[in-house]
Amino acid sequence: KNEVEQSPQNLTAQEGEFITINCSYSVGISALHWLQQHPGGGIVSLFMLSSGKKKHGRLIATINIQEKHSSLHITASHPRDSAVYICAVWVPGGGADGLTFGKGTHLIIQP
């Protein structure tokens, strides 16, 4: 059974700090998603990656397939980055739809 572990579960930081959220998984995957959930509940897909690194604005996502690990970085963090960040992995043949979700990292950026 694939397990997806995120760390930390909760993170509070000051505006401007560099943020790192980690995701580890236990079996081989085809792709990994980073999702953002705001307090209202809606979810936005930030990245989908299967190797290397992707960058979008102040957000950077990296993945190491051999080590089964991914990180989401936020540079120059801002209070509007406060949200829950969720990691999800796609496993071929894994489960009904192949997606296994982590429990999320609750990020608060204080002004």
Partner 1 sequence: DGGITQSPKYLFRKEGQNVTLSCEQNLNHDAMYWYRQDPGQGLRLIYYSQIVNDFQKGDIAEGYSVSREKKESFPLTVTSAQKNPTAFYLCASTPDRRAEAFFGQGTRLTVV
Q: Using CB under 8 A as the criterion, which residues of the chain lie in contact with partner 1 when the complex forms?
A: 4, 30-31, 33, 35, 40-45, 48, 86, 88, 90, 95-104
Nearest residue (CB) to partner 1, 67 versus 97: 97
Tokens of 92: 């071929």
Cβ at position 64, least distance to partner 1 in Å: 20
The burial of 71, by beta-carbon neighbours within 10 Å (0-12 exposed, 13-18 middle, 19 or more buried), is given as middle
Q: Edge-to-edge strand order for the sheet containing 69-74?
A: 4-7, 19-25, 69-74, 59-64, 52-56
CB of 19 to partner 1, least distance (A): 21
Nearer to partner 1, 30 or 64 (CB): 30
> What backbone phi and psi angles, to 5 degrees, belong to 76?
50, 60
C-beta closer to partner 1: residue 29 or 77: 29
- To the nearest whole angstrom, how small is the minimum distance from the Cβ of residue 34 to partner 1? 11
